[in-house]
A and B are shown apart, each in its own frame.
Chain A
Amino acid sequence: MAESTPPAKIELREVRKSFGPKVVLDGINLTVAPGESLVIIGGSGTGKSVMLKCILGLLRPDSGKISVDGEDVTRLTGRAREKANRHFGMLFQGGALFDSLPVWENVAFGLTHGRGMARREAKGIAIEKLAAVGLNKDVGELRPSELSGGMQKRVGLARAIAADPDIIFFDEPTTGLDPIMADVINDLIVKTVKMVGATAVSITHDMISARKIADRVAMIHKGKIIWDGAAKDIDSSGNPYVDQFVHGRADGPIQMEVRR
């Protein structure tokens, strides 16, 4: 396929993934431009997380193609996968901090283990990144279990940006936080993504968060992208699915499967 526009940062073509008889991704097509912040919205169980895991190589799609910087990364394994993942930073929903390591070693992990940087040098960078998310250096010596939920999210964010990735993924960054802390995290996401000049892809069902961090919004429903447009057009999409989701109505074309 010939592209006249500059190469996409991330491109998904007809990506499909099923778990047994359950089809989760049913031909996803999506492009993310360099430097843009894309937010993918959609209800629980619509395939948002699975799509993210396919891009990261944590799951392998059944068919279709995923490319990063024009390079096919769909079926990479081993060393090649580790190399491709150096493009990425990821903030996990629950933080996914290593509870066996102090906070600063968590932040520095990608540098010390992924790239073999000396501990002393990595610690300096870790403290810098902690400062960037508003945590002082004493926090670096604590264990993740000693931190509150909001602080864990911040540490997760510091870890995601530690190796200056060019693409950062956010998995439900505001889930489980109080509204004020959610806003703090949203601000930090906007700020840090600009700071490292990265492309951002977030998945969320929190519309306040989506409005704040998105340049562009895509909605996923039943394993397909059903709407894709600029964040400012979200209220005038003319798409009944998007309208229902944005306004959080129980009635509409999306029927919750209450019983399976």
Chain B
Amino acid sequence: MNPIGGVGRATIALITEIGRVSLFLSEALRSLVRPPFFWALIGQQMLRIGYFSLPVVGFTAFFTGGALALQIFIGGDRVGAEALVPRIVVLGITRELGPVIASLMVAGRVAAAIAAEIGTMRVTEQIDALTTLSTNPFNYLVAPRIIAAVLTMPLLVFIADIVGVFGGYVVATLDLGFNNAAYLQNTYDFLRTNDVVSGLVKAAVFGFIIAALGCYQGFNSKGGAQGVGKATTDAVVTASILILAANFVMTSLFFR
């Protein structure tokens, strides 16, 4: 095989894909502001995306907070900075780990579910059926999922923040010998509104990425069961990568 031709083909494929995603996103954004709005579907999706993600997000945040406290204590010990545990835990959780870990977990749950559902609708012609019944599939399928994800992700992350800090507190007080009241006071004094808000803004962006990519991969799935499987995998992988990339960009914008 000609290596130069291979590079060319890969480049064309990449540009084609970027073009497709852009067209899809512009159509999706238009559907957010164009009636009709399906309020009941938005509510249903908020329940699915937000409420049913609570257990998985809660557990992840708790253990992450605990591990973080442990690592900072052990690492800080080398330079005599163990006292920084409460401060770094609260900063790390609210600014970075809360939004990122919660979003990655939700990406695994929700982007996959969205891609599988919409992908199955695609291959069984249900999306075509919507069009023939004078219903725009973007309004009916894409807009409710994006709106629900953008609204519920900040709420989920807010809860993840609290549970994560609590995880750090439990480990620090039970295992590392910190004083309960002093730990909480230290956390509270150090925390600024911006630390939390920046994390919630990130969460909203990640919510958009999760829903939009789940819908995109589902809409473009083809070829029966195998195609739906591939769409599901691609949705989780692309959403996760984009979440991490977007997180880096936002961190460098917010905190510099």
Contact = CB atoms under 8 A, between A and B. Distances in A.
Do chains A and B stick together as partners?
Answer: yes
Interface string A52-90: 010011100000000000000000001001110110111
Interface string A12-46: 00000000000000000000000000000000000
Interface residues of B, number: 15
Interface stretch (B50-58, B128-136, B163-171): B128-136
Contacts of A78: 136
B170 to A, nearest CB: 41
Contacts of B134: 82-83, 85-86, 110, 113-115
B126 A96 contact: yes
A92 interface: yes
A116 interface: yes
Interface in A139-159: 159
Contacts of B124: 94, 96
A92 B133 contact: no
Interface string A110-148: 100111100000000000000000000000000000000
A93 interface: yes
B125 interface: yes
A113 B133 contact: yes
B36 A56 contact: no
Nearest to B138: A78
Nearest to B131: A58
Interface in B75-125: 121, 124-125
Contacts of A170: none
A96 B135 contact: no
A96 B38 CA distance: 21
Given A94-B125, A96-B125, A113 B131 contact: no
A82 B136 contact: yes
B125 A85 contact: no
Contacts of B178: none
B140 interface: yes
Nearest to B139: A113
Interface string B118-162: 000100111011011111100010000000000000000000000
16 contacts: A58-B132, A82-B135, A82-B136, A90-B128, A90-B129, A92-B125, A92-B128, A94-B125, A96-B125, A98-B129, A109-B133, A113-B38, A113-B135, A114-B133, A114-B135, A163-B133
Interface of A: 53, 56-58, 78, 81-83, 85-86, 88-90, 92-94, 96-99, 109-110, 113-116, 159, 163
Interface of B: 36, 38, 121, 124-126, 128-129, 131-136, 140
